[in-house]
Structure 1
Amino acid sequence: YKMALYQIELPGGSGPRKVRFAQGAVFMAACSAGDQEEVAALLRQGADINHANIDGLTALHQACIDENAEMVQFLVESGSDVNRGDNEGWTPLHAAASCGFVQIAKYLIEHGANVGAVNSEGELPLDVATEDAMERLLKSEIKKQGIDVDQARKQEERIMLQDAMAVLSGRGSVAPHPNTKATALHVAAAKGYIEVLKVLLQCSVEVDCRDIDGWTPLHAAAHWGQEEVCTLLTDHMCDMAAVNHVGQTALDVADENLVDTLEELQKKQNVV
């Protein structure tokens, strides 16, 4: 299960910019080929510099992965979002840090990349760094900026709770992620964000909502070993027999330590 990001749509926003798939694909291909003239021409024609593929990767992500420093610089100077996350919350800096590309990481930081950004696993770029030089760079920048890494790792849960409270008060609505169809309920269930779940369940969200693979929040909670979440969802009468697109129930994908608990919860729900 991909613990993908979710969307909260607040009123008054213009929403994500729409581009034709063909144009986006051509733009990504031109960037990957390092053809700056073609990239510039496509941008003049209205291509979205932050166009993302099905995995949420932008051209800047790909340029970082490819260690194409010239394209990284060109995209950033042309307005690419240096803090845009992919479907799993990986920013371009996460990508560069994971690949060990120190000069690219340094350039991104100098141009506003957030060293305290966390992905969907709660990891900072520092947490995915594999090279000593990269770790030194990121630790130095974290110290210089006075970032509290423990607070940064908890930021997603805080933001999700704020968003959920906004929905509860009628100031927003929950929308699934455009690529994965995962909802805030899926993410909170997978990560054990109990307070977020409690608020969302007060918002009359569909407890058996499904992502693109047919997973319900219970599938996510069971798979990632979130016992308290499973109890909460079954108390709200989620469908424990729901199957994903390959015919698996939550019990089929559950962490082995949760099998007995799920069976007991099923018995309890049957009685109710």
Structure 2
Amino acid sequence: ILSKSSHSTSFVLSVYTLYKTVLHPFFSPIDDSSVHSLLVKKDFVSFRKTLRKEHVSMVFQDNNSLLHHAVASGDTESVQMVLNLGASVNCQSVKGYTPLIVAVLHKFYEISSLLTDRGADVNLSDGDQWTALHFAAQAGDDRSVRLLLDNKAKADAKEKDGWTPLHLAAQNGYEHIVRILLRRLDAVDEQEQQSGRTPLHVACIYGYVNIVNLLLKNGADVNKPDKLQSTALHLAADEGHFRVVRMLVNNGADVKAVDEQSYSPLHFAALKGYTGICRLLLSKGVDPDIRTYQNWTAMHLAALKGHPETVLMLEEHHGSVNVQGKDGWTPLHLACHHGQEEVVTGLLTAGADPNLAEDSGWTPLHLACNSSCFPSVLQLISHQANVNAQNNSESTPLHLAVQLSNIPIIKALLMNNAQRDMQDSKGCTPLTLAQQCNNTEA
């Protein structure tokens, strides 16, 4: 009944799958025996009159017992009668579901209580090692959670991927369940196996600020990294949860921590355009020009993704608009290459150098022409970009515009004194390139 989310590596309860794998077998007419048919019809009076000791050993589809079906019917008296006739309270279906798990899934509290009173093992798990407590926590069923814990359920039980009931409650925003579980737990930093994330990581991803607060007050390690060396602050910044970020920072989160890609929380916030989070982190002493191992700064990433407000805020906090990252690219190079017109305008207004070349000699104007971004070409020209700059292949912006047959850009360059007779490293001029491309208009 469980599926994993590929984005968050988390578990969700699928209503359709729940019906197909848990509820459907209990209510389908899979057996023509009179006892089972009466349960299917919910004729509980006739069921109890007909029931005999030999019936309790009957096994149905997927190894579901008569007790499983009685529990799923929701009739407490029928369940009690089946138990009184000797049914095994801990029998399991093919998928490992016990009658108690079925009762918890249906939120049949009275039946769950009856089963525990009759000796149900609260720690038996299904094929994925989910216990009844996992299901109760996943569903936010506080009565069942209390009942199970009062009957010695392991509060820190792990399913096959290492998720505890606390992970599930944190993921689903069930603050009341988190409170109950925390009273029974010694450790709150258990890590699931796939990503190494703790309940605090999970709560930060989903932005549940009250749960984050509870976990921190109960000793959660604010700086514990997951397998990618991301901390709770990285995850909250990446998801744009400002209140969570503020709470983490106020509780000692390392604002300068970097993950295995050497990304800081500031990098994540800038990449997504979360200007408020960037401002908060900078106010806590983060260097606006902190670099990843590829030499990207937060401004590079904001420019790359087209976040003009974030770019300007970073510049106001003394972030360099001309900082060169991988291969000598500046934020302006990235903005021109990716057609981020508003960012180009903002960077130029803030003093970005339109003639700074990257390692292969390409200026921002080369990149804007190569990306056919006409508005950026005009902006660059108006800020004194050199229309005749040559890259390492000696190509000018006009060479590139001609190759792409971009007439508006060609006209703009020519009107601003671009030379049509400059040769590239192969001896080609823009005019000869136009002839080679049979571009008569150019």
TM bucket (normalised to shorter chain) is 0.3 to 0.5
Higher relative contact order (CA 8 A, sep 6+): 1
Question: TM-score, normalised on structure 2?
Answer: 0.28
The TM-score normalised by the length of structure 1 is 0.45
